[in-house]
Structure 1
């Protein structure tokens, strides 16, 4: 396939997938591909040996086996753009992410802190939420929104553009494995080590691009984009992950606030306290970032058409010459 055609096709698939995700959202959990990936990983966890080195080898081998499985399934799916777009939409999660954050926002607006804590813990974070203050709940939801903009949208789209649906499926399996196994506990330390390192590697570029997108969106909204980017450059290293801090710190700078996780990190140095209104502003920044992404994909479609046309003209001229 010529490079122009490949660019046009993958950008078209991405645009269709984003449209389907926005309109339809996620299917029921029992039918969701990420849920099926979770079943694969839970099976691997149940069968894993007990000793550290054996668990390390098992975790890596089970992950690589999953790569082969999801990559093979993805590569054998019909190549038609509508089918590919529908499959890709199942591996993106913008609508679900925005609705999850909106649910926490609405609970805080109505003063129902218990419900806000419940929704936060159910949909967005793995940390304990039972004793979080309203400001901590709002801040955690904003952090999750920023981080998952990368994990659920930007990084999957980049994987699609680089390697098609098989690469996207491999990315989502790795990200799911890190979410399920990537804990520094006695049970998961060795089982999830390779998955965590692979996820770190896969997200090195997307996380920084997500921070840049958030900064650009912020500049278009309130002209704080440069401050958002500077905050990301300064504070991203404060998180244990080499990647998660980039979009979260950029969002902290964009909102002129401090986003914290108890006993772990503090990102940003602003004076504003996270609340429901700030959550709404964060969602608006992400919405504008998504408009930028869609615009970039349309440019990719046009560029692919132009490259294909120019290449065809060049070949015709060469043959005639």
Structure 2
């Protein structure tokens, strides 16, 4: 529908202009609700985690469906509702600002402060990272979250409208809250993590393809980006972060991946790309590529939303009397 396409475009523009509010963000409110419910639903098994996810995601998607149904025959309210939902679930501008903040601290030779600010973007232990490792972490976060917080919701929203937008953000938020491989959430968070992998599958592939296609924006080679994706992505533990981070590595002609430390546990994230080690100046290049990917994803989402709807197969041609 034209109103869905317009709403997606307006929501992207609102995110670019306004970013996320410091207070009273809808996603933060959902997170508080999920945390409260967890006190009642938590148990150290997968079924309890599946119930937790089903209740929260199902309720959110149903609320989105109710909004969609109430506005779908009124183009202006429908466009506005879609725009608000799109703005609420996107996080591209906040991601870009956090990456820029770390970049500025490194430029000012404030490595300890950059390590602390980096914790806003990544979950790894940042206390002993050198400048190159900080840059690598920022670029990896920009790549992965451009897929998770921009491309995936736009693609799903273009196909499924407001219910898909809100339901996706509910899944993604729950994965961030409980989808961890630690003692508390290994089993309870299993359903959230697996569902997040599933709903991010199409968006991550679109994001990787866009990163490869738009590599010339940062002086890169699309062939190298596709080659890095094909060669290196499977070694990454995430089926969705792997393709996007590998495509960014190839597009930027840098090496990403390697060993990260999480709460004293070392994980090998595999080496992505075969270029030089990432450096501070590559952060701005990664931000430029991410913005280009966001623009491309917005265009794709609008085109998907505008596609003709089939209303059933045509009837038989009239025969001769």
| TM-score, with structure 1 as normaliser | 0.86
User: Would you say the 8 A contact 1:155–1:207 is kept in 2?
Assistant: yes
Match of 1:291 among 276, 295, 301: 295
Alignment partner of 1:39 is 2:43? no
Following superposition, the deviation at residue 68 of structure 1 comes to: 2.4
User: Would you say the 8 A contact 1:97–1:145 is kept in 2?
Assistant: yes
- Separation in 2 of the partners of 1:269 and 1:300? 32
Q: In the alignment, what sits opposite 1:28?
A: 22
Q: Deviations over 1:216-252 (max 9, x none)?
A: 1103442511111110111111121111111111111
Following superposition, the deviation at residue 158 of structure 1 comes to: 1.3
The answer for unaligned runs of 5 or more in structure 2 is 72-76, 260-266
Secondary structure in 1 matching 2:257: strand
Alignment partner of 1:60 is 2:50? yes
Segments ≥4 residues shifted beyond 6 Å: none
- Separation in 1 of the partners of 2:211 and 2:298? 14
Secondary structure in 1 matching 2:122: coil
Match of 1:254 among 240, 251, 254: 251
User: Would you say the 8 A contact 1:238–1:245 is kept in 2?
Assistant: yes
Match of 2:201 among 179, 200, 204: 204
Secondary structure in 1 matching 2:277: coil
- Separation in 2 of the partners of 1:297 and 1:42? 32
Q: In the alignment, what sits opposite 1:95?
A: 93
Following superposition, the deviation at residue 289 of structure 1 comes to: 1.7
* Structure with the larger helix share: 1
Secondary structure in 2 matching 1:214: helix
Q: In the alignment, what sits opposite 1:231?
A: 228
- Separation in 1 of the partners of 2:257 and 2:197? 21
Alignment of 1:176-191 (within 5 A): 176-191=173-188
Secondary structure in 1 matching 2:89: coil
Secondary structure in 2 matching 1:185: coil
Secondary structure in 1 matching 2:21: coil
- Separation in 2 of the partners of 1:242 and 1:280? 26
Alignment partner of 1:217 is 2:207? no
User: Would you say the 8 A contact 2:85–2:166 is kept in 1?
Assistant: no
User: Would you say the 8 A contact 2:151–2:294 is kept in 1?
Assistant: no
Alignment partner of 1:13 is 2:3? no
Secondary structure in 2 matching 1:203: helix
* Structure with the larger strand share: 2
Following superposition, the deviation at residue 300 of structure 1 comes to: 4.9
- Separation in 2 of the partners of 1:167 and 1:296? 16
User: Would you say the 8 A contact 2:226–2:247 is kept in 1?
Assistant: yes
Q: Deviations over 1:97-129 (max 9, x none)?
A: 1101111111111111111111110x2001111
Q: In the alignment, what sits opposite 2:282?
A: 278
- Separation in 1 of the partners of 2:161 and 2:250? 34
- Separation in 1 of the partners of 2:4 and 2:39? 37
The answer for unaligned runs of 5 or more in structure 1 is 1-5
1:84–1:298: structure 2 CA closer, same or farther, 3 Å change rule? closer
| TM-score, with structure 2 as normaliser | 0.86
Secondary structure in 2 matching 1:42: helix
Equivalences, count: 299
Match of 1:170 among 148, 167, 172: 167
User: Would you say the 8 A contact 1:218–1:228 is kept in 2?
Assistant: yes
